[in-house]
Structure 1
Amino acid sequence: MPTQVPSARAYLMASRQSEIASLQTLLQTGQLTGEISQLVHELQRERGVSNIWLCSQGKMFGDELPVRERQVARTLASMLASLPPLNGEQAAPPGHVRVYSRIAAALHALGALAPLRHNVRHFRLSHDEAMRQFSHIIRQLLNLAFEMIDTASDPQVSRALIAMFSFMQGKELAGQERATGSAGYAAGSFSAGQRERMLGLIEAQERCFTHFCHFADAKSLQRWRGLAEGESDIERLRRIACTRSAPEDDGAEMALRWYQRMTRRIDGLKQVEDELAQHLMQCCRESIRQAQHQQEAQEGDIDALMAQIDTGPAFSVYVAGQNWLKQEGQSLDTGGLTPGLGRSILGLVEAQSRQLEALDDELAAMRATLSDRKQIDRAKALLIRHHHYSEEQAWQALRKMAMDQNRRIVDIAEALLAVADVFPATPK
């Protein structure tokens, strides 16, 4: 009896089906990223309102607080509905272990919202502490969005995810700048620390938006550039905040003016972010359509080859060094390959392999960029945890060390992480 050889055609088709399944998972990832974007935006709005409430000692935006809370609750429910389902005791899908861990961290952080709101309402927190807690919750959501980029197996989708995350990160820094500026203007003066923080936030936004521009689609770029052209008043207010210890005008009035201008800017950034989310979903659907079309084309090519063979003259089948003759009227065990069919299928396999290799090369280049960012973020987290730095202070510390040693920031980050175990325990 001849050895039964698995069908090359079946495995070739299984490869396409696996690609389509992976892309459909990416579609769900894109939907979840969009939901995270919306939830982060609503939390930023609640943080902004809470900021003015605290800075004005409860004189402003008291009626707006419950409105923002309800909106966050609605968007949170929508995001929770988009989370990947839990399958009892089954492990997370391959490649999603870190994503599930980030989901757990984000949900844990969101659990702190209720006590945070209570403390804000009753002035039991300083402005700085309240903003720190809001920012921590938002950062956990951004970490989840960042982690999902690693699950992307399609370069076009990866580019869209990187562009969107970079923009989300820049927008969050703009929200922190709004909070810092509001506090300084409301107090009637900016401390040296606040001025330094403002400068750091402005610089960090530029880094994020530059990274976004490198990966963004043309339509989103056009909308972004149109938005950036109308910020002259914000630039003037920034100069006042960063160069003077005390504004010339009334503090409360200047705080409200700053808040309104920055809120308008952040709402404009959200429109660009929505454009990016739409582009991301379009990329996912287009990649799925292309993969399905390629699968159908391959199936048609192989079926046509099989039809030619079944109606042709007798031929030999070569499998594992043995030769069986197909006589007319006999059925062909298509687990074996004729030389002609073998060459045809081999051509399809090689074409698909070349396509996958090209995709892998493009993904490798993007993931190298992501790896650098992850190392830097981990090093910043280390400095924040052990030296109680803000995120901007941690970045500036890494930058200064890199400049002093004439090395890349990512090299400094890797060196810090390599000796992380010798850092003193964090005080409790």
Structure 2
Amino acid sequence: MYNTDTGLSRRSLLRYGAAATGLTAPALAGCSPSEDGPKPGGGTPAGNVPLRMSAYGSTARQQKLQQVYDLYKKKRGGSVELSLLANDAYSQKLATEIAGGAAADTIALFQNIVAQYALKNVLAPLDDYVPKVLDISQLDQSSIASGVINGKRAALPLGDNAYGAIYDKGALDAIGMSVPKPGHTWDDFIAFANDVKKKSGGAYYGTVDDSGDFNGFEVFARQRGKELYKEGKLGVSRDDVQAWFEIWAGLRKTGAAPPGDLTVQSSTGGFGTTLLVGKKAPNFFIYPNVLGALQALTKTELAVTTMPMPSAAQSGHFLRGSNWVGVYARSEHPADAVDLVNFIVNDEEAGKVLQAEFGAPPNLQLRKSITYNKVDQLFIDYVGLVAKEFAHPVPSLADEFPSGSPQVMTTFVTVSQSIATGKQTISDGVDSFMSQAAGFLT
């Protein structure tokens, strides 16, 4: 589960900007729309044809996909050639292939580029093949809904995810404390963080400083009835941003959160440099499909819970489709490419091979039938909990990731660090962010 739809660590987000989550603006600008437009949809798979799929991820993912392709060949005939690269290398190669009209039949997509490609007629409308070729009846309808762009289903997620917080349960047990319960409030969380600092005798900070976490801020904004973006512009107010930064400044002031220089230092590497793994703080806010990767770096037991929230009705939480996949509009075998997507998300044997590789399996019935290891089961259970008790609808990927959004995210991180290290006041930092964000979103 190490690879996520938004890169491998927060440091990669800051370091690469959009490259960690998809295409940079210049790369995307170089992608030519399909001059011929999408080929007519709704056909029937020919079967026994050669297909290509491009994807991003690890060697382990490559091996699992190859097993799935072997099953597909056995059951459907034909063949599937896989081109898989690391996250940051994948985006540029994909842009080049699309610009040259030579993309693979089936294309893995970072969430923030689905809409841009759909609007350029790069992706075949999948609803043309529903239900004859593509069965979406067992998929979580809330997570797949955001892949509908301008009324057309552009892509499907290969997994489901939900934002949260990973805690060091073993470390908390050792000082007589417990992981905050799902649905805990901001007041609960602030009290908890200060208690950890006291009960550990100062050995632990009570929490990481999450002020630079744009994904966390998205949840916080939704708790206040806002979306990050509205009609391509910033959807949050100055007061929303200031309220977020003030929470973390207050925790730094009491010593419950680390000083800014330590937070910046801990973000300079991968998961191994996090304060959670370094035993300096008991938590880490992130999409928890990376739980297995973090658990492998520590001997104490980890657990997952929600972010703090005002109430379940104002949780701000949502199901996040991850590791999206679409079909190239100019594929010579579009119906067969769609059939491959259908096989990946719906075939029982394929699901048992992939397990939680792309997140929680999107087919809800299939998800229940798979036997997971203990760590993956914790993640699966968390996604199910959010879906049942806390999830609220999300906008389409087009609304959630407008042009300029990668730069807005990077600016948010930079400003947060400037505030945390005392280089800017909260007020000045908020003004700087609001001004720069408005410029990027013009």
Regarding TM over 0.5, the answer is: no
Query: Which one has a bigger Cα radius of gyration?
Result: 1
Normalised TM-score (structure 1)? 0.25
Return the structure number with greater helix share: 1
